[in-house]
Chain A
Amino acid sequence: MKKPTANFKRCWILSTLLLSAFTFIGRRAIASPPEKTTEKEELLVLPGEVGRRGERLVVSLRGEPKTLNPLISVDTPSREVIGTMQADLVHINRATQLTEPALAKSWKISPDGLRYTLVLRRGLKFSDGYPMDADDVLFTFRLYLDEKVHAPQRDLLIFDGKPVSLQKVDSHTIVFQLPKPYGVMERMFDGWAILPRHLLEKPYEEGKIAQVGALTTPPNQWAGLGPFRLKEYVAGQRLVLERNPYYWKTDAKGNRLPYLDELVFLFVPSADAQVLRFQSGETGVISRLGAENFSVLARDQKDYAMVDAGPGLEYNFLFFNLNDLGEKAPPEMIQKQKWFRDLKFRQAVSSAVDREAIVRLVYQGRGAALWGLVTPGNRRWADEKLPHPPRSLEKARELLKEAGFSWGVPGNGDSWLQDSNGKPVEFSIIAQSSSSERSKMAALIQDDLKQLGMRVQVVPLESRSLLNRVTQTKQYDACVLGAASYDADPNSDINVWLSSGGLHLWNPSQAHPATPWEAEIDRLINEQMYASTFEQRKKLYDRAQEVLAENQPMIFLVSPNILAGAKNTIGNFHPAVLEPYVFWNVEQLYLKNGTENAAR
């Protein structure tokens, strides 16, 4: 009886009048879709290949989604599923990396950059047939902004401590008022799933919003604006979605999308098992593939084709512990930090690391060497002027010499590097044991640095322990880690750039920038955030990338390619380098000549 229902008000009156048993029946009756509205639908017409209706597509997810509720989801499987069930106001096209109209058919930005006026499409309906209007948008953002809801994305709507505010102009027009101009502009609307007020208002008022959208929710109690809707969930096994008949997009010929009747997610606990399922033909699409599995699958492409979409937005890097550890730090660590803080030392390490070898050996060539945070996959924002110095041990040795380092007794076979006090240069690199790629990178770096006479140990650590050390206890020398921007826009990495950011990993959450160059980066990043034109922002952002490269607090290594595969029978399969790599156009995916893809 706690479940949200279609028409809360009527229901509430009923329940005050009638016995609870009758209420239940009453709710049931109301929960059916309301009568058809006569309002003309303004559908979005998608260009591109026209497909064929019907069939079912089966795909595997690594791990089980935890929730269908966009307000609380953080894990990858949940977000992948939610992405196919929900829609946003303005959407970033994953292929072009540019914005395009979605639920909002148009938007206007006031000249001062503070007011965004969005006009909704007419005739929009949730997947349960219930009409959607401006009130749903207001309600949605009220939830995202409510501190008690703990929406993880909430911070993106707060500018200098002040939240964005919304006003309804009419049932199809909403004004977003920003406290400050924001350079990201309409891109900021991407990813905010518009939620059904008619289902969520009651649980929200009862303070139970975090509990709704569990996978066990009955299908008629859950709705979204995405191409698919909930049909069945079997714990530990699969999630079945069905076509949303009210979806607001059509193809070039006017056929309503999506093409697929059903989308089935199988929960498969390991990457290797995913490959097996794909090989045996049980699943039709595979994504988030490692390079090794990709090569295995690529060897024997008969029924399926593998696609290498090029470098994504993930960047892997090495960084040293530059935290201010205070007086409690052990003398050994103070000694080490003296090296780490020396720019020439970091530059020498960067110069000695063979990035191409990492690409070749760790990713079998399916990756791009990296000299900055913005990967080549990010076409609009990567700084082309950023220098790509080739690997040079000579230059590294020269830099070390300049910094006062020297090599121990030569002629002893192996000569080890020592600092100006005669202390041997010795440190450890921690890496995630769960990521074989990053462990391998650390091992290759160990080898590269050995050639400079540095004694490096690689310490594989379980992921949480590693993060605990890096962000909490700060007991580490150096670390190999990776991060992925969730959008091409620079602001998605803001916590890495800003010295006050939690992901400013080498020295996170600083009260004041510890170095002049960190202050410079802070200034550049803050300025670009509120700059109004792309050209201005790009110029500032390029400069920030250059300052970062000059100072090498992060020694960038490699960006892996986005790898995926699909059966030959699947049409419109075009993996992108932005998440969700293969399902960004799920409404357009179709099966060419079906039967063989149906269930066994």
Chain B
Amino acid sequence: MRYLLRRLGHALLLLAGVSVLTFLFTALAPGTYFDEMRMNPQIGPETIAALRAQYGLDKPLPLRYVFWLSSLVHGEMGFSFAYNSPVAPLLVVRARNTLLLTITSTLLAWAIALPLGTWSAERMGRLPDRLLSLGTAMLLVIPDLALALGLLVLAVRSGWFPTGGMASVGFETLSPFNKLRDVALHMILPVTALVLSTLPLLFRHVRAAIADILDAPFLLAALGHGIPKRTLLYRYALPAAANPLISLFGFSIGMLLSGSLLIEVVMSWPGLGPLLLEAILARDLYVVIGGILFSTFFLVGGNLFADLLLYWADPRIRTESNAQ
């Protein structure tokens, strides 16, 4: 329990820190949302000054931070200049889509990496292992962007997959089953891109962790007792190797999240990515801050989840924290 509370405290502290820093950095960035209006011949400088005042941009930074905090408490997370509406509802809708993409990709990547890594570790040094290592090394060096673009080219050339978006036109007229199918079809490309971009790293870690443990005396003893290889691998080796992998799990959520922001823009997935990019370019401050905070929140949440898993999986942590 103490362990959990401490972790939670850390997470909250991190979120607060991130909010202060993003606030500072967005304020330091040159230009404001209203600068673009100056280039619009129809809008006079007085109108722009009035708008700035209306949104409180003429106030000092600490005061703006306090305002923002109070709006956070009210569940608004500030006000978007561009959308003329509170930020939170804008983000929530899109965060759902980002989560759908990220969670699916995380689960899928691990579902592939675990058995593949174990299988490869068992055959360490033999041809299949070498081929897999070579393949993952190649995937590792291809930038996410190139991967996504390549997949898009495939989609256009073949016509098998939609070239972006999350749903077809006329989605609302489909039956529930077809709706599910439609979304799944649209998810194939972005999920593939995300899985392919994280898989090599996960695979290599799993392989290394299992290979490490395979030489452990207790496994050799078990082998000597005649326990079948498969049982040995999945029931004894994998749990023993779980500790670093669980930490990696938390980390991989963060990786996929930052990867997904890029993939979302390229594949026009209606998640946080396109919104955030547009907001950054337009200096829509509170949307930027809110978006970053949401991403941090997911990241911290993922790590917290990993910590919990670790607590459950590793007796050492349990005794350590109970002893304190």
Contact = CB atoms under 8 A, between A and B. Distances in A.
Interface of A: 56, 58, 63-64, 66-67, 69, 72, 74-75, 147, 150, 152-156, 210-211, 214, 216, 232, 234-238, 264, 266-270, 273, 276-277, 279-280, 282, 434, 462-465, 467-469, 471-472, 483, 485-486, 492-496, 502-503, 509, 598-600
A147 B53 CA distance: 13
Most chain B CB inside 10 Å of its own CB: which residue of A64, A264, A496, A509: A64
Given A58-B169, A273-B164, A599-B169, A467 B94 contact: no
Given A214-B84, A266-B169, A599-B170, A150 B41 contact: no
Given A273-B266, A464-B283, A502-B44, A211 B163 contact: no
Most chain B CB inside 10 Å of its own CB: which residue of A75, A155, A276, A465: A276
Contact of A63 (B37, B169, B172, B278): B278
Interface of B: 29-32, 35-47, 50-51, 54, 82-85, 89-90, 93-94, 97, 152, 155-156, 159, 162-173, 265-268, 270-271, 273-275, 277-278, 281, 283
Nearest to A466: B31
Nearest to A63: B278
A483 B47 contact: no
B281 A237 contact: no
Nearest to A279: B156
Most chain B CB inside 10 Å of its own CB: which residue of A75, A467, A492: A467
A21 to B, nearest CB: 26
Given A236-B94, A273-B267, A599-B168, 4 more contacts: A63-B274, A464-B281, A468-B31, A471-B35
Given A269-B265, A464-B35, A599-B170, A67 B44 contact: no
Contacts of B51: 150
Given A74-B43, A269-B265, A600 B38 contact: no
A375 B44 CA distance: 24
Given A74-B37, A467-B39, A485-B41, A434 B281 contact: yes
Given A153-B42, A236-B270, A282-B163, A463 B84 contact: no
Contacts of A493: 41
A237 B50 contact: no
A279 B159 CA distance: 10
Nearest to A600: B168
A574 B268 CA distance: 28
B151 to A, nearest CB: 11
A16 B23 CA distance: 46
Contacts of A276: 152, 155-156, 163-164
B83 A66 contact: yes
Contacts of B281: 434, 462-464
Contact of A270 (B40, B54, B265, B275): B265
Most chain A CB inside 10 Å of its own CB: which residue of B36, B83, B281, B283: B83
Contacts of B166: 236-237
Contacts of A279: 156, 163
11 contacts: A56-B170, A152-B42, A216-B89, A235-B94, A266-B165, A465-B31, A467-B35, A468-B30, A483-B39, A494-B41, A503-B38
Contacts of B283: 464
A234 B29 CA distance: 31
Most chain B CB inside 10 Å of its own CB: which residue of A58, A270, A503: A270
Nearest to A502: B45
B83 A67 contact: yes
A189 B167 CA distance: 40
A147 B41 contact: no
Contacts of A72: 84
B162 to A, nearest CB: 7
Contacts of B29: 464-465
Given A280-B155, A464-B283, A237 B43 contact: no
Contacts of A150: 47, 50-51, 54
Of all A-B residue pairs in the complex, the 8 with the closest CB atoms, nearest first, are A236-B270, A464-B31, A599-B170, A269-B274, A155-B44, A468-B31, A235-B93, A465-B30
B268 A269 contact: yes
A463 B275 CA distance: 18
B37 A282 contact: no
Contacts of B54: 150
A485 B39 CA distance: 11
A270 B266 contact: yes
B114 to A, nearest CB: 33
Contacts of B165: 237-238, 266, 268
B274 A483 contact: no
A282 B42 CA distance: 35
A235 B37 contact: no
Contacts of B159: 280
Given A75-B82, A214-B85, A236 B32 contact: no
Contact of A467 (B31, B156, B170, B273): B31
